[in-house]
Amino acid sequence: MNSFDVIVIGGGHAGCEAAHAAAKIGAKTSMITLDRMKIGAMSCNPAIGGLAKGQLVKEVDALGGVMGRITDLATIQFRRLNSSKGPAVRSSRAQCDKNLYAKFMQDYLATVPNLTILEGEVSGLIIEGNSVVGVRLGVGADAREIFAKSVVITSGTFLRAIMHRGKDQEEGGRLGDKSSKTLSEDLKKLGIRLRRLKTGTPPRLHKDSIDWSKTVPQPGDDLKIPFSFYQKPNPYPFLPQINCFLTYTNQATHDIIEKNLGLSAMYSGAITGIGPRYCPSIEDKISRFKDKDRHQLFLEPEGLDVDEIYVNGISTSLPKEVQEEFVHTISGLEKAVFIRYAYAVEYDAVDARDLKVTLECKDVPGLFFAGQVNGTSGYEEAAGQGIIAGINAAHKVLAKDAFSLSRLDGYIGVMIDDLVTKGSDEPYRMFTSRAEYRLLLREDNADLRLSEHGIKLGLLDQAAATKFEKKKIEIQKLFVDTDTFYFYPTVETNLRFTELGLAEIKDRVSAQVLLRRPEVTFAVLERLGFNSEVKDPEVLEQIEIQVKYGGYIQKDLQLLEGVRSAEAMKIPLDFKYDQVMGLSNEIRGKLKEVRPESIGQAARLQGVTPAAVASLMIFIKNQKAQAKHLHE
């Protein structure tokens, strides 16, 4: 078999979502991976979600993706972060059994119609005219060609990848896996800009060699909220839950690291790629935060039956002997046995400013990119890009409309807009602070925001659609119930209020108005006498948030209207900026370099002034008016 509609290169988290989405939509799809047993591998941290990342996973699930479902099956500890803070910044995080996660992903993808998994190394692209039409596998006598109308590259950290540990260097994007050596050259020939980035991973220690009595247990939450809105049963019967543990570096640790900085691949100059500022190596932490006398480390089990402990917080490229020396100064790790030493990976990434919001290359039709190859970090960021690229790769073949999410629709939209307008000088990581309207883009309402898209796209089945409609109906019913149920200032009613520590009421008050009080929840309303047929905790949460934060939500919705109009005004990729009067050479050069797809994108470019945006809008409106006049 050498012909498909869509080829997905890579079986990481972006590749899994891209291949699943394309096949589910109806495109004949092939995932090409170096090793089918590494599909869905958790190469670094054995966890899914976290601050802002939980929102991404929920959005992927709401669209009909697979990451949330597989996470629920493989979770060995669940926590909702920032649960005591406002709903805009709450995020779910799941510690996973890494082996089970990969197994469940592989088992699931094996059942997806229209999806064929092939093993091999993609050595290059087949180009006809300026469009991609397939890929080359292997080199020399063993080379073969596979054709497709759309190709999605999700190569992660494997393009010309080199692993560093001290002065030791080894080709590969992950320990035990070789790098992709030739694909970068094909991308350069196509005019796609590449940049060199760096990531890293900490050591893995044997669980039986750690003195757990010197560490602080970190249990998960008793209430476990699944990532998936639609997987049955829901809530899912989670695997046995286990603790993570907390320990700290100390001055002795810091002294050893500082003394050996010159041996670090990062500090010796062996690595030229730029690393993630928000997930720094332990060398960076010691150098940049000299005022700190200790740094927090999380000891995270990698599975129920796995001996490896992931030491979250000491990513490093120092030599093996130095790693052993400084790790053995840490409380609880004095006799720790290394299963795997830490290392850094340097790799090629594309400049995402060469991509459209659909993640298709602006200059090479049919070629899409998703995941770390676009300059991002993290499984969740990869999955969010993967589902968008997979949808659009299939739609291109099936002659369907392109699909994209704006930064007004979700965190996926924020991330992609950031990438294609600003690029990434360092591995990009999602934060709640990147989303201007995060109160509207919460993880709890991802289904309400995006599942209609998932249903229309064909990624969510009828059972999911039915559940979605039922939830919307129940939300509306509960909203009406709270608005039409009244408490009256009787002696009996006020007695119940005072027994619950609430101020007495002097006039008639609805349950909904009462719910605006910070101390009032649905549990309190029920004790006061309010009752409704709607009991779904997800629905109760939605109404409580809508009521308590109603004023802020309404203000954000009003602001969105003006922003949406700017996003709706499209700019052609071949737009002639030289014809627009009033643009400085600097701004004109920036616009030509990025080629924004809308006025909104242009306005977000660094250095582009409001006056320049106004000039663009006037020029585009005049062009449209002239075109309309010519056709009349």
114 and 153 fall within a common domain: yes
- If pLDDT is split at 50, 70 and 90, which confidence band does 288 have? confident
Is the same domain home to 37 and 133?
Answer: yes
> For every residue of 518-532, which 3-state class applies, written as one string?
CCCCHHHHHHHCCCC
- Work out the average pLDDT over 313-331: 95
pTM of the complete model = 0.92
Please, which pLDDT band fits residue 281 given cuts at 50, 70 and 90? confident
How many angstroms separate the Cα of 329 from the Cα of each of 1, 166, 256, 270, 309?
56, 20, 9, 27, 17
Position 494 scores a pLDDT of 93
Q: How, if at all, do strands 194-201 and 343-350 pair? A: antiparallel
Last residue of a domain, one of 315, 345, 375: 345
Q: What integer pLDDT is reported at residue 599 of this predicted model?
A: 87
What is the torsional sign of CA 554, 49, 410, 67?
Answer: negative
Task: Please tell me the total count of domains within the chain.
Answer: 4
User: How do residues 365-375 score in pLDDT, each as one tens digit?
Assistant: 999 999 999 99
Q: What is the pLDDT of residues 504-515, one digit of tens each?
A: 999 999 999 999
Cβ-contact 180, 172 below 8 angstroms:
no
Number of helices (H), then strands (E), in the chain: 21, 23
Q: How confident is the model at residue 61 (pLDDT cuts 50, 70, 90)?
A: very high
User: What are residue 104's DSSP bridge partners?
Assistant: none
Q: What is the mean pLDDT of residues 277-287?
A: 81
Domain range spanning residue 19?
6-72+102-200+347-457
Report the CATH number that the domain containing residue 579 is assigned in CATH. Answer: 1.10.150.570
Q: What is the pLDDT of residue 552?
A: 83
> Which of 416, 431, 457 delimits the end of a domain?
457
Q: Which of 36-45, 69-78, 179-188, 292-301 has the lowest mean pLDDT?
A: 179-188
Residues 393 and 420 reside in one and the same domain: yes
Q: How far apart are CA 215 and CA 116, in angstroms?
A: 46
Asked if 326 and 385 sit in the same domain, the reply is no
Same domain membership, residue 518 and residue 478: yes
Closest C-alpha among 195, 192, 325, 193 to residue 258: 325
Residue 575: what are its φ and ψ, rounded to 5°?
Answer: -60, 140
With 80 as the cut, is the pLDDT of residue 521 above it?
Answer: yes
Name the β-bridge partners of 132: 127
Residue 156 CA to chain centroid, in angstroms?
Answer: 14
The reported pLDDT for the residue numbered 626 is: 77
Q: What angle do CA 372, 373, 379 make, to 5 degrees?
A: 20
User: Is residue 452 located within the same domain as residue 502?
Assistant: no
Q: Are strands 162-165 and 168-171 parallel, antiparallel or unpaired?
A: antiparallel
For the stretch 1-10, pLDDT in tens is 689 999 999 9
Mean pLDDT of 369-387: 96
SS3 percent helix, strand, coil of the chain, rounded to 5, is: 40, 20, 40
By percentage, how much of the chain surpasses pLDDT 70? 97
What is d(CA 151, CA 6) in angstroms, rounded to the nearest whole number? 6
Query: What is the band of 39 on the pLDDT scale with cuts at 50, 70, 90?
Result: very high
More confident residue, 31 or 89: 31
pLDDT at 604: 87
User: Domain check: are 534 and 583 in the same one?
Assistant: no
Final residue of a structural domain among 416, 432, 457: 457
Contact 182, 157 (CB under 8 A): no
pLDDT in tens, 435-468: 888 899 999 999 999 999 999 999 999 999 999 9
List the structure tokens of 328: 């053995």
Question: Higher confidence at residue 355 or residue 426?
Answer: 355
Q: Quick check: helix, strand or coil at residue 143?
A: coil
CATH (domain of 395): 3.50.50.60
Could you give the 3-state DSSP secondary structure of residue 535? coil
CA distance 11 to 203: 24
Q: Is the same domain home to 233 and 287?
A: yes
Residue 6, token pair as written in the block: 């869509």
Answer yes or no: do 526 and 602 share one domain: no
pLDDT tens-digit readout, 206-216: 999 999 999 99
In 64-177, DSSP assigns E strands to: 75-81, 91-96, 115-119, 122-128, 131-137, 144-147, 150-153, 162-165, 168-171
The residue-averaged pLDDT of 592-609 equals 88
Q: Residue 514 sits in a domain of what CATH number?
A: 1.10.10.1800
Q: What is the pLDDT of residue 16?
A: 98
Q: What pLDDT is stored for residue 426 in this prediction? A: 87
Report which of 198, 197, 193 is spatially closest to residue 352, judged by C-alpha positions. 193
**Interval 124-157: pLDDT, tens:** 999 998 899 999 998 777 789 999 999 999 999 9
Q: Is residue 193 part of a domain?
A: yes
**Residue 15 belongs to some domain of the structure:** yes
